[in-house]
């Protein structure tokens, strides 16, 4: 069972197609690991044990008859619990939605079903995705599989932990200010925030409408590319969905990164970091250079304002969405989320509009910079996993600072500009905790990010390492 659970998603899919592994075996391996480890990890809110086995048996019968539903046929995946799933409760990690059972799938769930995926369960998360720790007061604090005393980041912490701990083969997360990339970095997996509008948000409980995205989380870039191809594309049910053709994200995956122009922003990308993070990402850039890439320094004149603008938008929009519930059922929110929602109501319209003006300026600066570079590379976050329950972090020894602001230092850049961004594991700190780097690309250039990330993974083994419990 452990051998099967340690298969990569793409490898598992290939073995199912070759009839060397059955969908039932994949599901049973995932369920066995969930039973063995999730009482501690708390990565799932709901597990579909009987339902997943029934679907897997049906997928096995189809395979025996020579019929496959799609590229994910028979592979167990998990959904973050803010993604609606027909007939299954969807809580968004909240007491307010503890009994909500949607009547229809979110578009992303429909597309994964059509690709043949088997849903193994719904993952735990920071309540309503408004936070970066996944310390959920209603369903338990999610724990990092590399050290269960450490936090897994958030808000898609349950999805990241389930993938890293081999409880499923891939998972869906959502990312507003970094909620795919942050837990992917902290847990040593790959996570893709697509271009805003590339994947439908229809049927996903929102956090901040103008920045919300849905994306894949898996153990390798190839696995993410396979999932991403299944969920990307225009959806008329989502007003923000982009009417653009979808690339074949696997076709050019082996294209390498010779002549790739890597942009770095001096004075920002490598400032205010814990030393192991600094060293790991610099070593990753050096590895790219050895593979044929070149480094280009770029000035982004207004980059230093991104955290303030992000916090403004990511406070005002959630408070708007939750305004009625916050008045009618304030006690049903966790203390941290209620405080953030109340604070968001204190912002003025001028604050929000100035943040949106800044956002347009920052995007314009990055689009101009893409004339000179193909991708930007920077850390995903400036520190490794802290202990569960801590609300501050020491990036510089002896100088604690607010966790939420610190955690957004780098991910907010892609969130504000709507650009695609990929977290790729690139090292470990002295305590054996994962470190991730972030690749940021042009609008709708996810294929280029995936190609660069895959080239890095072909030359390194960080993504192949597993926590001891795996």
- Alpha carbon distances (Å) from 137 to 84, 133, 200, 388: 21, 11, 29, 13
Question: Is the torsion defined by CA of 329, 330, 335, 338 positive or negative?
Answer: positive
Catalytic residue among 22, 63, 179, 421: 179
Q: Mark 71-96 as b/e (b = at least 16 C-beta within 10 Å).
A: bbbbbbbbbbbbbbbeebebbbbbbb
358 sits in which H/E element: helix 349-369
Closest CA to 216 of 36, 94, 72, 90: 72
Q: What is the dihedral of CA 282, 283, 289, 293, to 10 degrees?
A: -60
Q: How far apart are CA 306 and CA 189, in angstroms?
A: 25
Q: How far apart are CA 204 and CA 156, in angstroms?
A: 13
Residue 275's CB is within 10 A of a number of other CB atoms, namely 12
List, as one string, the DSSP characters of 345-356: TT--HHHHHHHH
Catalytic residue among 30, 43, 63, 80: 80
Q: Which tokens sit at 378? A: 């920077």
Q: Which tokens sit at 376? A: 């930007």
87: left (phi over 0), alpha (psi -120 to 50) or beta: left
- Going across the sheet that includes 421-428, the strands are 44-47, 118-123, 76-80, 171-175, 213-218, 190-193, 421-428, 434-441, 375-379, 261-264, 294-297
Find out whether the peptide bond into 155 is cis, omega within 30 degrees of 0: yes
Three-class secondary structure of residue 421 per DSSP: strand
Residue 42's CB is within 10 A of a number of other CB atoms, namely 23
Give yes or no for a contact between 306 and 272, defined as CB atoms under 8 angstroms apart.
no
CA 13 to chain centre: 21
| Residue 155 annotated among the catalytic residues of the structure | yes
Token pair 């980059």 in the structure block, residue: 303
| Residue 30 annotated among the catalytic residues of the structure | no
Between CA 411 and CA 423, with CA 417 as vertex, the angle to 5 degrees is 35
| Residue 43 annotated among the catalytic residues of the structure | no
Q: How far apart are CA 23 and CA 31, in angstroms?
A: 12
Catalytic residue among 30, 63, 88, 155: 155
Name the DSSP class of 467. Answer: -
Catalytically active residues are 80, 155, 179
């Amino acid at each position: 069972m452990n051998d099967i659970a340690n298969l990569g998603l793409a490898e598992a899919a290939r073995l199912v197609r070759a009839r060397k592994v059955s969908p039932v075996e994949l599901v049973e391996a995932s369920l066995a690991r969930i039973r063995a480890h999730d009482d501690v990890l708390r990565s799932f809110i709901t597990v579909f044990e009987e339902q997943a086995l029934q679907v897997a048996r049906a997928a096995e019968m189809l395979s025996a008859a020579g019929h496959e539903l799609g590229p994910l046929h028979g592979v167990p995946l998990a959904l973050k619990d803010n993604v609606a799933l027909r007939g299954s409760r969807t809580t968004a990690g909240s007491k307010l939605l503890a009994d909500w059972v949607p009547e229809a799938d979110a578009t992303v769930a429909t597309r994964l079903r059509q690709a043949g995926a088997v849903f193994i369960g719904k993952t735990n998360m920071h309540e309503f995705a408004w936070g970066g720790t996944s310390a959920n007061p209603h369903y338990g604090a999610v724990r990092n599989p590399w050290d269960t005393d450490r936090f897994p980041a958030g808000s898609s912490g349950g999805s990241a932990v389930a993938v890293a701990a081999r409880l499923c083969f891939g998972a869906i997360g959502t990312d507003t200010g970094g909620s795919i990339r942050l837990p992917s970095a902290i847990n040593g997996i790959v996570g893709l925030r697509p271009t805003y509008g590339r994947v439908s948000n229809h049927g996903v409980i929102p956090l901040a409408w103008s920045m919300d995205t849905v994306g894949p989380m898996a153990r390798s870039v190839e696995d993410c590319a396979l999932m991403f191809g299944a969920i990307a594309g225009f959806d008329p049910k989502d007003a923000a969905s982009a009417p653009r053709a979808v690339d074949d994200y696997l076709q050019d995956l082996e294209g390498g990164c010779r002549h790739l122009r890597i942009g770095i922003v001096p004075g920002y990308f490598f400032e205010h970091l814990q030393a192991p993070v600094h060293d790991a990402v610099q070593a990753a850039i050096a590895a790219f250079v050895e593979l044929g890439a070149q480094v280009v320094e770029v000035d982004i004149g207004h980059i230093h304002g991104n955290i303030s603008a992000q916090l403004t938008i990511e406070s005002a929009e959630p408070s708007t969405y939750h305004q009625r519930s916050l008045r009618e059922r304030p006690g049903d929110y966790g203390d941290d989320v209620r405080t953030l929602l109340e604070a968001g109501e204190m912002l003025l319209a001028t604050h929000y509009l100035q943040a949106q003006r800044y956002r347009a300026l920052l995007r314009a600066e990055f689009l101009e910079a893409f004339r000179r570079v193909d991708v930007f590379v920077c850390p995903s976050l400036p520190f490794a996993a802290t202990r569960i329950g801590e609300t501050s972090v020491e990036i510089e020894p002896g100088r604690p600072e607010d966790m939420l602001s610190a955690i957004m230092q780098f991910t907010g850049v892609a969130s504000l500009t709507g650009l695609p961004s990929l977290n790729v594991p690139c090292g470990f700190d002295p305590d054996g905790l994962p470190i991730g780097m972030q690749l940021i690309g042009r609008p709708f250039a996810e294929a280029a990010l995936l190609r660069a990330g895959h080239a890095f993974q072909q030359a390194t083994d960080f993504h192949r390492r597993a926590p001891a419990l795996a």
